[in-house]
A and B are shown apart, each in its own frame.
Chain A
Amino acid sequence: MAEAAIGQRITSPAGATVAAGQRGASVVTRGLERRFETPTGPVEAIHDVDLTVAPGEFCAIVGPSGCGKSTLLRLVAGLDRPTSGAVAVERVDGGRPTNALVFQGRSVFPWLTVRQNVAYGLKLRGVRRARRGKAADELLRTVGLTSFARAYPHQISEGMRQRVAIARALAVDPDLLLMDEPFGALDEQTRFLLQEELLRIWETTGKTVLFVTHSIDEAMILADRILVMSAQPGTIRAALEVPFARPRSLTAVRSDPAFAEMFTTTWAMLREEVTAARQMREAGPR
């Protein structure tokens, strides 16, 4: 098992000016590439990704399936090493940055109760029982699972499990929050509520968020910037500024005339990539 490793260090993003005391981490990648060796030959998941996320920024990533979004998040989280290029995650005050990744799919520990799952990261950090219990209960209220605190994951629904995973990542109060399609498995109403909640948490804590989603809607509602990735091997094809004023509300953003316009441009771009990805798949492996 390899140590959690971040590629070689590179210096802070040029020109990232941040208010003092802000605690989000910056993310910079340069020439990031990850190739997988498979029995059928090497697969280049991402290629030459240059990314700069300012401290406290909310950045969404959209792209066709298989373009390397999860791969990118794992590299930023330090769970995987790039085959070339480098990742740097830094805190404004020079402290050691912490990150938490909300994984795509079933990541909740089946052997822990809902409450134990949420408190897991705090336990690893040596937080005392009473305090981590309190913190977990608070987050369970946030995600609406208070009455399921003592249940085991197999006793709750898929959408509820996903909320547990989100609460578990939030519990450690990371400088950098990495989310891999976190709301994908949720019903629409719950998704709206959690989008609002995430916005509130982000606005009050100043975390940096990297948010992978397949929903252009969701990206526009939440993010400062939308990064559109190209089909495999993934690169960042465009970075679109999201113009809506902060603090945002779902309803205000949706009724903004710019919303439809931005949706159209983003979709046009994404559409090309999704089509390209399809053609590539139909052309056979690689």
Chain B
Amino acid sequence: MRRRRAIELALTIAAPLLILGIWEALARAGRLDPIFWPAPSTLGETVTRLVREDDLLGDIRISLLRILGGFLLGAVPGVALGLAMGLFWPVRVFFMPLAAAIYAVPKIAVLPLVIIAFGIGELSKLVIVAISIFFLVVLNTMGGVLAIDPMYRDVARNLGASRFELFLTVALPGALPAIFTGLRLALGFALIVIVGTEFLSPGRGIGYLIWESYQTLQIKAMLVGLIVTGLMGWALTLLLDVIERVAIPWRGAE
């Protein structure tokens, strides 16, 4: 078991390290244009400078808070509506066309509308993230409820469960694996959307750092921004993994 863990960890970090290694080797061999592809090993000092002078950690914190805030704002009502749509067919029939249509709209295209409605402040950033993930979570949750073996519902009814108890003891736990699949996708979307949003609205955040560095041709800072974005996505996914393991203990040893 321990051995397996060690191998898992090694394999997990192998791919990114491999890419960085190849990049480094090519840069040192002079095969890459150093202006656009500086060797990764030279990025260290850029990181130090960004942390000291440009408050890189502050940018990371701001972007993370936007992601988490928007994520909660979209996911919590998303799960609720998804459960309701899965359980009650009139709710499903009523919302389905709306969900299917809005699901397909590129969310970043809605940003101007969101800014008109909520201003250019923090709120509009949270709202755009929430909107982008809402229907994703809704559809996954609903699918999860619909996929529950109807036998479980009958068992609960037979033993006297009320509608509310049915909801709490069958629909919610039964849909939980599908809900987490939705949340995982949503988290990726949230990151994509927030970086895009920060491109378009000057101020703070990791997306703005990337955009601004690009415009002023500070390629190293831009690359650091990209790498940090990737690391943020990875860390958030790991966090969700941990939460999932706690929330779905019956999935444990598969």
Contacts and interface: CB of A to CB of B under 8 A. Distances in A.
Contacts of B249: 152
A89 to B, nearest CB: 13
B42 interface: no
A121 B173 contact: no
Contacts of A56: none
B155 A107 contact: yes
Interface string A99-122: 111010111011110000000110
A131 interface: no
B174 A111 contact: yes
B158 A101 contact: yes
Contacts, number: 66
A125 to B, nearest CB: 7
Interface stretch (B3-11, B134-142, B160-168): B160-168
B68 interface: no
B201 interface: no
Contact of B160 (A105, A106, A121): A121
A124 interface: yes
Contacts of A4: 157-158
B169 A120 contact: yes
Interface residues of A, number: 27
Q: Is the interface of B mostly helix, strand, loop or mixed?
A: helix
A103 B151 CA distance: 8
A158 B101 CA distance: 44
Contacts of B169: 109, 120
A153 interface: yes
Nearest to A152: B250
A221 to B, nearest CB: 26
B159 A152 contact: no
Interface string B111-155: 000000000000000000000000000000000000001011111
Contacts of A124: 156, 159-161, 165
Contact of A103 (B155, B163, B174, B176): B155
A153 B159 contact: no
B17 interface: no
A154 B250 contact: yes
A107 B163 contact: no
B109 interface: no
B87 interface: yes
A155 interface: yes
Q: Lowest 6 CB-CB distances: which A-B pairs, in order? A: A111-B173, A121-B159, A152-B250, A101-B158, A124-B160, A111-B250
